[in-house]
């Protein structure tokens, strides 16, 4: 099918579960795997990081070791993959109706690079796409998606239409996404709403990422930081903006 050759694109999925791999299965990862499988089947090179497995310092600088942190694995492990990815998908569980604390750290570390520029003088994340995946047993899927997607858009990511998906079971204690039920089925696997949104999200991320890659990113007219700083403030009907 024309327009569906996504070879050459790279996607990074960051899982912000609070559990390390040693602590067991991540329900968020189970849902993320469905999106990863679609991308891989269509030629996208997919990478995956489970943030809790690493020692990521909190803060808003690219390398927190320069600001007193004893250890920081963000600059050496996460940043090279984030920088190389055309697509970034953040996955998070819900706790008390909010994204996880690790998810906030990831968002803050993305923000740490907001002072960097691409070769057009734009913010470093221009020309890349972002989305998010949320799981839990309580309200908050859309709220967490709103938080993540606003943050990604603010630092420069392009957020496509329907770029989030999620699943929540019954409120309170109970099966989480992918848990085996008494009848042998898996919790959430038959949820058409989740499956549809995940499918739309994944394809929209790939489509927009390919469009941006083919176009060489977003045009630099009107959004170049160096030109603004040098006084070339572009055409504007209000002289105060020039």
Q: Would 190 be classed as within a structural domain?
A: yes
Q: How many CB atoms lie within 10 A of CB 209?
A: 27
List alpha helices for 1-111, DSSP H.
Answer: 27-41, 79-84, 101-111
Q: Is the pLDDT of residue 236 over 70?
A: no
Number of domains observed in the structure of the chain: 1
Helix (H, G, I), strand (E, B) or coil at 68: coil
Q: Would 2 be classed as within a structural domain?
A: no
pLDDT of residue 198: 95
Q: Would 234 be classed as within a structural domain?
A: yes
The Cα–Cα gap between 189 and 186 comes to 6
Q: Would 1 be classed as within a structural domain?
A: no
Q: Would 3 be classed as within a structural domain?
A: no
Strands 87-95, 98-99: pairing kind: antiparallel
Percent of the chain, pLDDT > 90?
A: 74
Residue 23 burial (C-beta neighbours within 10 Å; 0-12, 13-18, 19+): exposed
pLDDT of residue 30: 94
Q: How many CB atoms lie within 10 A of CB 35?
A: 24
pTM over 0.85: yes
Q: Would 4 be classed as within a structural domain?
A: no
Residue 227's CATH number: 3.40.50.360
Range of the domain at 111: 10-241
Q: How far is CA 218 from CA 7, 183, 232, in A?
A: 20, 50, 19
pLDDT of residue 180: 79
Q: Is the pLDDT of residue 88 over 70?
A: yes
Q: Would 5 be classed as within a structural domain?
A: no
pLDDT band for position 41 (cuts 50, 70, 90): very high
Helix (H, G, I), strand (E, B) or coil at 161: coil
Helix (H, G, I), strand (E, B) or coil at 182: coil
Strands 45-50, 10-15: pairing kind: parallel
Q: Would 230 be classed as within a structural domain?
A: yes
Residue-wise pLDDT for 198-233, tens only, equals 999 999 999 999 999 999 999 998 898 888 887 665
């Amino acid at each position: 099918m024309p327009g569906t050759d996504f070879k050459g694109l790279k996607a990074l999925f960051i899982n912000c579960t609070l559990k390390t791999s040693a602590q067991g299965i991540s329900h968020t990862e189970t849902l993320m795997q469905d999106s990863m499988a679609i991308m891989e089947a269509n030629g996208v090179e997919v990478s995956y990081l489970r943030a809790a497995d690493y020692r990521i310092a909190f803060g808003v600088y690219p390398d927190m070791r320069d600001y007193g942190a004893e250890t920081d694995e963000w600059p050496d492990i996460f940043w090279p993959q984030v920088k190389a990815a055309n697509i970034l998908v953040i996955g998070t569980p819900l706790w008390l109706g909010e994204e996880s604390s690790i998810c906030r750290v990831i968002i803050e570390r993305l923000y740490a690079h907001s002072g960097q520029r691409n070769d057009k003088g734009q913010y470093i994340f221009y020309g890349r796409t972002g989305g998010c995946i949320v799981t839990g047993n309580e309200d908050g899927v859309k709220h967490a998606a709103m938080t993540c997607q606003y943050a990604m858009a603010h630092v420069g990511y392009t957020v496509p239409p329907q770029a989030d998906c999620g699943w929540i079971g019954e409120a309170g204690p109970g099966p989480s996404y992918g848990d085996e039920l008494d009848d042998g089925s898996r919790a959430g696997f038959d949820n058409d709403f989740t499956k549809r949104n995940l499918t739309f999200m994944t394809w929209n991320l790939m489509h927009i990422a390919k469009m941006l890659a083919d176009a060489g990113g977003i045009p630099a007219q009107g959004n170049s930081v160096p030109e603004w700083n040098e006084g070339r403030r572009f055409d504007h009907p209000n002289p105060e903006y020039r």
